[in-house]
Structure 1
């Protein structure tokens, strides 16, 4: 009985976390798209579109995270 309750409770908590993570992801994706749009407005001579810009921004962010992990010894 206690195991079943714990399993149900864990499933409920996991569903909340999944929903929260999706909301955060969607919000950050909108921010990234807005950043790409603003960059494109400020740099009209470039032919990049929203997709290529967001891809470049994501790549730079991942590279920065990897570099930061290396600096901290992690």
Structure 2
């Protein structure tokens, strides 16, 4: 069951990041991949800053922030 929640949060976080970054989403698979990468990146950054997220909402926020950072990083690399 936790894998299902992880996938659901990943899709939702990827979609939210795409909308917030004016990308409009990247399709179901793209949102899932973006959300998973975002969850890993967000967890790493939050731990570095001393924050801890708990629960489903905390996981969603962490994954979304990480996905936004990942999109921003990709845009910087693409411009270079």
- TM-score greater than 0.5 by the shorter chain: no
Select the structure of larger CA radius of gyration.
Answer: 1
